[in-house]
Amino acid sequence: MNRLERAREYEQTHKEEISEKDRPVYHVSPATGWMNDPNGFSFYQGKIHLFYQYYPYATKWGTMHWGHYVSDDFIRWAFMPAALAPDEEYESGCYSGSAIETEDGKHLIMYTAHLEKEAEAAPHMIRETQCIALGDGRDYVKYKGNPVLTSADLPEGSSKADFRDPKIWRENGKYYAVIASMAADQSGQLLLYSSDDGLSWQYEKVLEACRNEYGEMWECPDFFRLDGKAVVIVSPMHMREKKPEFHSGHNVIAIVGSCSERTFDFVRENIQNVDYGFDFYAAQTMEMPDGRRVMTAWMQSWAASNCQPLHAKWFCMMTIPRELSVRNGRIIQNPVRELKKYRKNKVVYKGYNLVGTEELDGICGRSADIEVTVRTEASECTEFKMLLAADDNICTEILCNLESEMITVDRSCSGLRHDIVRRRQFKFNKADDIVKFRVLLDRFSVELFVNDGEQAFSMCLYDTPQSAERIFFASDKPVKLDVEKYDICI
């Protein structure tokens, strides 16, 4: 039995041991064991496909496989058998990559073959090359000509060990791939390759480079054109904090600019954080047939990746898929519109006069979609708070300072059992005397969208008991609120 057959057999039996009530309601979690980066996020033959970095055998990172789900609407996902496992001599792990439908109706995956060897009397050897697998939406066969890109295709001085995470797309009748690499200056660079048939690839140029400005190695690049701009999204490792935009450690940044067609001269205009939360990494986008650009990411941080709940049979989730647009040179993100189909049990308050700390009848829950508009005109309110996933002792706090235009998210009292980052701040714009929030709660996570998606904040809440489902609103001076709350039921 090879590794793929073994994984398929294992997940088939062990996924049944996890009851639906112990999983998120509408966020993707691994069939069994561990999940990291979203991979191969694509539309193929009428279905949305989402693969992921997968180690079925434990709730921690291990030999990398590709797990697989399909969906009609980004919200309900159907399990598919594992798609890739490291079964060839050129790989000891199938690392991140992407997928696309070919002209002749095949699902083409490009992924990184990561190879590690203990060489006798020599240093530990690591090599990363790019490989192709072709499939029908269920079964994938690795291409005989693998690897299709090796260290021979790198610019001089680039690391042979850090060359990974290809993102492919089609433009002007050609295939392109942007791939993360470590440049001679020991910082990230994004390399552009092209191909006529998706199998044989040529090096084109350095599309963008870190030059030791935004972290060190750059991982999981993406490139797309949207609303008249060209956008690079990438996950830099080991960044220094740059307040208030970037936190220390691994971030995901968007570089919005322009880029000529065919010659790919990318010019930076604006650089921003994609998500200000504790748990967001390795974002990947796809394009829907209706033209929507949709992004999902691993809702986890590497820094807290050993903080699995005790006795868990699965660990790590994806964020809600988000529709992207570009406004004023910035990325705007909102949950996919399909989520609204699953809204039930509407509760509405219009112009509610909030005084001090209050709990509103019917506003509670741990699988919910809540819209809150704070109307600050004619109010002296300077601080507005939401306390989520709360009981008598526990809560996760979202504090909005209307003077400094800063939002602070604090999970110190959320019942944590691990020593992880508890507090993070980000800037928002208070325009037109209103601040709008959309909060998605889903058992083990909270995602927050501010002012129709100008800022997003993602976090996991594995340690907060499910019984903590109360929600409180608070303000220092009376203020008017509109609140609309739905349960999300699948």
Q: Residues with catalytic annotation?
A: 37
455 binds ligand FRU (CB under 6 A): no
Helix, strand, coil percentages (3-state) for the chain, rounded to 5, are 5, 55, 40
Least separation in angstroms between CB 165 and ligand FRU: 5
460 binds ligand FRU (CB under 6 A): no
Q: Which of 79, 94, 182 is nearest to 132 (CA)?
A: 94
Of 483, 488, 489, the closest CA to residue 360 belongs to 483
Check binding of 53 to ligand FRU (CB under 6 A). yes
Asked if residue 165 binds ligand FRU (CB under 6 A), the reply is yes
Least distance CB 106 / ligand FRU (angstroms): 23
Two tokens, residue 351: 């112009």
CB of 180 to ligand FRU, least distance (A): 7
Which lies closer to ligand FRU via its Cβ, residue 53 or residue 475? 53
Count other Cβ atoms within 10 Å, centred on residue 252. 23
Q: According to the binding rule CB under 6 A, does residue 109 interact with ligand FRU?
A: no
User: Phi/psi at 371 (nearest 5 deg)?
Assistant: -110, 130
Contacts of residue 78, defined as CB under 8 A and 6 or more positions apart, other chains included, come to 69, 70, 71
CB of residue 64 vs ligand FRU: minimum separation in angstroms? 5
Min dist. Cβ of residue 250 to ligand FRU (A):
8
Residue with token string 């590709």 = 66
Contact 34, 280 (CB under 8 A): no
Of 283 and 386, the one with the shorter C-beta distance to ligand FRU is: 283
Half-sphere exposure at residue 13, Cβ-oriented, CA atoms within 13 angstroms: 6
> Alpha-carbon distance 279 to 303, whole Å?
9
Q: With the CA atoms of 305, 307, 309 and 313 taken in that order, what torsion angle do they form, in degrees rounded to the nearest 10?
A: 30
319 binds ligand FRU (CB under 6 A): no
Report the nearest approach of ligand FRU to the CB of residue 36 (Å).
Answer: 5
d(Cα 285, Cα 295) in Å, to the nearest integer?
4
**DSSP characters over 193-243:** EEESSSSSEEEEEEEEE-TTSS-SSEEEEEEEEETTEEEEEEEESSBPPBT
In whole angstroms, how close is the CB of 465 to ligand FRU at the nearest point?
29
- What does the DSSP assignment read for 54-76? EETTSSS--S-EEEEEEESSSSS
Which residues, 29 to 48, sit near ligand FRU by CB under 6 A?
36-37
Is residue 316 a contact point for ligand FRU (CB under 6 A)?
Answer: no
187 lines the binding site for ligand FRU (CB under 6 A)? no
- Note if the bond before 478 is cis, omega within 30 degrees: no
**Looking only at residues 266 through 285 of this chain, which bind ligand FRU when binding is defined by CB under 6 A?**
281-282
Backbone angles phi, psi at 25, to 5 degrees: -75, -45
Give the residue with the Cβ less far from ligand FRU, 95 or 266. Answer: 95
Cβ–Cβ < 8 Å for 403, 382: yes
For residues 99 and 394, which CB has a smaller minimum distance to ligand FRU in the complex?
99
Binding of ligand FRU at residue 49 (CB under 6 A)?
A: no
Give dist(CA 24, CA 314) in Å, integer. Answer: 11
Please tell me whether residue 220 binds ligand FRU under the rule CB under 6 A: yes
Residues 401-430 that bind ligand FRU (CB under 6 A): none
- Minimum CB distance to ligand FRU smaller for 180 or for 456: 180
Task: Check binding of 333 to ligand FRU (CB under 6 A).
Answer: no
Geometric angle at alpha carbon 272, from 271 and 274, rounded to 5° = 135
Assess 64 for contact with ligand FRU (CB under 6 A).
yes
* Cα-based angle 186, 97, 118 (whole degrees, multiple of 5): 60
In the complex, the smallest distance separating the C-beta of residue 248 from ligand FRU, rounded to whole angstroms, is: 17
* Closer to ligand FRU by Cβ: residue 98 or 379: 98
Span 83-102, contacts to ligand FRU by CB under 6 A: 95-96
HSE, side-chain direction, 13 A CA sphere, residue 485: 17
Kindly state the smallest distance separating residue 31's Cβ from ligand FRU, in Å.
16
Closest to ligand FRU by CB, 91 vs 219, is 219
Do 388 and 440 form a contact (C-beta atoms < 8 A)? no
CB of 112 to ligand FRU, least distance (A): 5
Among 23, 127, 142, 164, binds ligand FRU (CB under 6 A): 164
Nearest by Cα to 108 from 122, 97, 95, 124:
97
Size of site (CB under 6 A) for ligand FRU: 13
The yes or no reply on residue 219 touching ligand FRU (CB under 6 A) is yes
Instruction: Return residues touching ligand FRU (CB under 6 A).
Output: 36-37, 53, 64, 95-96, 112, 164-165, 219-220, 281-282
